[in-house]
Amino acid sequence: MSNAKDRNSSLNLRTRGDAGPGQVVLVLQGGGALGSYQAGVYQALHEAGIEPDWIIGTSIGAINASLIAGNSPQHRLSRLREFWKRMEQSPVWSFRDVFPGFNDKLSYWSTVTSGIPGFFRPNPLAHAGDSYPLGADKAGYYSTAPLERTLAELVDFDLVNNCSLRLTVGAAHVRTSQMRYFDSRDIRLGVRHIMASGALPPAFPAVRIDGEFYWDGGILSNTPTEAVFDDNPRRDSLIFAVHLWNPHGAEPTTMAEVLNRHKDVQYSSRILSHVARQQQAHRLRHVINELVARLPEAERNSEAVRELASYGCPTRMHVVRLLAPQLDHETHTKDIDFSPSGIMKRWDAGYTHTKAVLQRAPWIGEFDPLSGVILHEQMATMPQAAE
C-alpha cells in the first residue's frame, strides 16, 4: 500500500463526518494463544495508516500492547511477527498426512510438559506437594523467566515511557483483590508491569511491583475497556475493542463442550453489560448538557447550576467490538494452542476481519445526539486456510 493511500486512510478515519472521532484507542483482551488474532487486527490498522493514540491490554493483550508501544511504527509489525514466531510450538515428529489434527494434539502436550522456550518453562518444585514452600514469587507450575528475557529483547521501554503512544496494562492486586491499571501517563512502566498483567495463576507465579504482588488482570476484568470509560478527563474516542472469548454460544452437550463454554463465559467478562451501563451513564450526561443549555443565561451562570452542570459531559465514544471467530473443532485448550497453524489462522482472521470493518467505517454517519457511547458489533468468520 502506498504512503499516500496510508495517509488518506488515516485522514478519513479522523475527519469524515461532522467531527472527527477523537483519540484512537486499541483495547486488547487476555486469552493466551488466541492473542495472535490481535496481531492480525493491528496489521490491518497499520497498513491502513491508523496508529493508536492509546493502547490498553490485559494478559496476552498487555504483551501485544507492549510490543506495539515499545517500538517505532515502522518496526511494530516485525516485532509482533518475531514474538509470535517464538511462541510457535512445533512437534518434533509430524503425522499431518497420516492423522489430520494429530500434530495439534502433539503441540498441546509439548506445551504442557515442556513449556515454550521464549515464554515459560516447567517449575519442577511445584509438583513437590501442595504445601511445599515455594515462595510467593515462585508459586506457579511454570516459570516465566523466558518471557522476561523475550520482552527485554523485543520491547524498548524507554520508548514506552516517552508516551508518544500511551500504554495501560491491567493486573490484579493479590492481597486486596483490586484491579490496578499501570499507566505510562502516570508512572514509568517496565517489563515487570507487563509480566504482572500476564501472571495467570496457578500456571504462573505472581509478580512483585513496589513491594506488592500482582496476578493476571484477567481474573478480575479481562476486558479493560472500562479504563477508557473511567479516564479523567474523558475524551472523544474511537475504541477498537478486540475480544477473544465469545459471550454467546450453544448449549453444551458433552463435557468437552462444557469446559470450552465455561472458559468463554468466564473470560468474556460481561463486556456487553458493562457497555450497556456506560451507555446509560453517558446518555444522562448528555441529557444534563441539553437541560443546562435550555436555561436562561443568568441561571446558567449561577454557582449552583454550574455545579450541577459539571455532571454533564459532551464526549462521544464509538466502541467497535471485534470478536474473534472460533476455529473448527476448537476445544477448551484453545488458549494454549500455540501450534503454527493455530497462530496463523487466528492472525489471518484478525487481519481479514479488521480490513472489512475499516472499509465499512461504521462510526461514520448520523447518530442520536444524546448517545455518548455507541456500540458497533463486528462479528467475524474464520477464513479457510490450508492445513
Q: In whole angstroms, what is the distance from residue 347 CA to residue 362 CA?
A: 23
pLDDT of residue 7: 36
Q: What is the pTM (predicted TM-score) of this model? A: 0.89
Considering only residues 387 and 135, tell me which one the structure prediction assigns the higher pLDDT: 135
Interval 300-346: pLDDT, tens: 889 999 999 999 999 999 999 999 998 888 889 999 999 898 999 99
- Rounded mean pLDDT, 170-174: 97
Query: Distance (Å, rounded) from C-alpha 289 to C-alpha 366?
Result: 19
Q: Whole-angstrom Cα distance, residue 186 to residue 272?
A: 29
| pLDDT tens-place string over residues 76-90 | 999 999 999 999 986
Q: How many CA atoms lie within 13 A of 313 on its CB side?
A: 23
DSSP 120: B
Q: What percent of the chain has pLDDT over 70?
A: 89
- Higher-pLDDT residue of 108, 210: 210
Range 286-308 burial, b when 16+ CB lie within 10 A, else e: bebbeebeeeeeeeeeeeeeeee
145-154 vs 73-87: helix crossing angle, rounded to 10: 150
**DSSP letter for each residue of 253-314:** -SHHHHHHHHHHHHHSTTHHHHHHHHHHHHHHHHHHHHHHHTS-HHHHTSHHHHHHHTT---
Q: What is the β-pairing status of strands 166-173 and 178-183?
A: antiparallel
Q: Over the stretch 276-305, which tens digit does the pLDDT of each residue have?
A: 899 999 999 999 999 999 999 888 889 999
Q: In whole angstroms, what is the distance from residue 105 CA to residue 89 CA? A: 11
Instruction: Write the pLDDT tens digit of every residue in 260-278.
Output: 999 999 898 777 788 889 9
The pLDDT of residue 381: 60
User: E strands, 166-245, where?
Assistant: 166-173, 178-183, 207-209, 212-216, 237-243
Backbone angles phi, psi at 55, to 5 degrees: -130, 130
Length of the chain, in residues: 387
Q: Distance between terminal CA atoms of the chain? A: 29
